[in-house]
Amino acid sequence: MNVRGAGLGAACLLVAVAGPAPCAQKGARRNAGEAEKLFLNMTKVNLGTLSTEEDKKKYLYTIQLEKARITRKTLQAAYENAHDLYRSGDYEGARELTAKILNIDPGYEDAAILQRAATQLQGSKRSFLSENQLVEFKFGEGMNMYRQGRLVEAAQRLGEASKLAPYNLKARYWLRKLHGELAQEHYRRGQTAYRQHRLRETLDQWYAALVLHPHFPRLAESISKVETELRRSEANEKLQSALQLYSQGRSEDSLKALEQVLLVQPSDAKAQRLMSEIRAEMANQFVAEGRRLYNQRQYPAAIVQWKKAVEYGYDASLGEQLATRARDAMRRETEEKKRREEAAQRHEEEDKRKAEEEAKAAQEKAAQPSGAGVPISPMGVTEENRRSAIQHWNLGIISFQKGDYDKARDEWILCKKLDPSNSDCLAGLQRIEAQLGGP
């Protein structure tokens, strides 16, 4: 494949990412099989049901990672084609292609370097000579900065020269040497920070040294050691915070802090032991609160407390036994309440029926014709007293039906005084005595 065709194929692919374009039909179809490998074959992925929010987040994160990988691979291929165009003297094509790359990823530094070089050389008649002159210029500029002690800027210039001319051994040598010196400086700063126990700054400096010099002697072991110390230090800080929260009675917050400790240091025995103790204590508190609510007959609230106890480590079978006992108590109380209501209703209906029968009997008795004059009864009760007693009996019946038992008793006492032989008055008084506990 010639350079121009490769550049056109990559350009069409880039434009397809940014938006549709007519040149899509001119893409390299012979690379279609390779391009298909860049994409997930979703028909072969058995995802199941994404039920939880955490599963959805993980799935979307996987998609984002895959998209980023595809984009990086595509841009790398496009950059290689742009570099081929640059080496062949097609500065216009290289500039256009790098512009598309930077439109997708503005932070693609290699493409930016190549674009600047293509822009500077655009219109040159002797491309090879012009390219060498540009590389030599950047190399010389970098060396001048190096002599002035401007190591970072010198590394940038030498890096540009090395990117534009990968086979320029001189630029590569001095760039590697400069990276080694910068790595040494970062390592020295890291040592200073480590002696002052600034562990994060130490790691920042040493990681910067590792990027510049991947084979820096014993640096990986030193980084691993400091990372372990940093994790232990952070775990101790979080553990102290958890203990302080626990001492303040904030058990929930203390547990959250301990979870953070175990995220940093999963094997921390102190944090594990303290978490177990706090969970057990909270579980016992929930059980005790549930028993208190149970004794107060607040059964639903008690069941909620026992479920929380199980969540914090209480034995699940014991928690279920307590909840079952509460449900049985609720059922028994409901049945007993229903029985009492039914018995009270029956008793009320029976009292009402008896009162109606007694009132009816009294009315029938009062309606009987009385003899002439005022004859004396065999017991010495006059007929007038007998009728007056019946009237007081009727008034007592009315008061009794209204629930005014005191007035009913007074009426029936008068009835008894007027006619001691009136059995209805005696029966009424006995009934009130049964209701009120005495005359």
């374009």: which residue's tokens? 21
Contacts of 19 by beta carbon, 8 Å cutoff, 6+ apart: none
Q: What is the pLDDT of residue 43?
A: 47
Angle in degrees, CA 351, 355, 359, rounded to 5: 175
Q: What is the pLDDT of residue 6?
A: 40
Distance between CA 21 and CA 376 in Å, rounded?
Answer: 132
CB atoms inside a 10 Å sphere around CB 213 = 19
Q: Report the b/e string of 409-436 with b at 16+ CB within 10 A.
A: bebbbbbbebbeebebbeebbebbeeee
Q: What DSSP line would sit under 384-429, residue for residue?
A: HHHHHHHHHHHHHHHHHHTT-HHHHHHHHHHHHHH-TT-HHHHHHH
Q: What is the pLDDT of residue 313?
A: 79
Using DSSP, state whether 319 is helix, strand or coil.
helix
Mean pLDDT, contiguous 10-residue spans, the chain (439 residues) = 41 44 37 44 52 76 84 83 78 82 83 78 58 72 75 75 76 81 87 88 89 85 86 77 76 78 74 79 85 87 87 82 87 87 85 80 66 45 82 85 82 85 84 68
- Both structure tokens of 416: 């008894």
Q: How many residues are recorded in the chain?
A: 439
Q: What is the pLDDT of residue 218?
A: 85
Q: What is the pLDDT of residue 50?
A: 61
Distances (CA, A) of 41 to 16, 36, 38, 45, 76: 20, 9, 9, 7, 22
Q: Which fold has domain 376-436?
A: 1.25.40
φ, ψ for residue 376 (rounded to 5)? Answer: -95, 130
Q: What DSSP line would sit under 63-111, residue for residue?
A: HHHHHHHHHHHHHHHHHHHHHHHHHTT-HHHHHHHHHHHHHH-TT-HHH
Residues of the chain with CATH 1.25.40.10: 237-336
Domain 237-336: homologous superfamily in CATH: Tetratricopeptide repeat domain (1.25.40.10)
Q: What is the pLDDT of residue 391?
A: 86
Contact 360, 368 (CB under 8 A): no
- Both structure tokens of 7: 């550049």
Rg (CA), the chain: 50
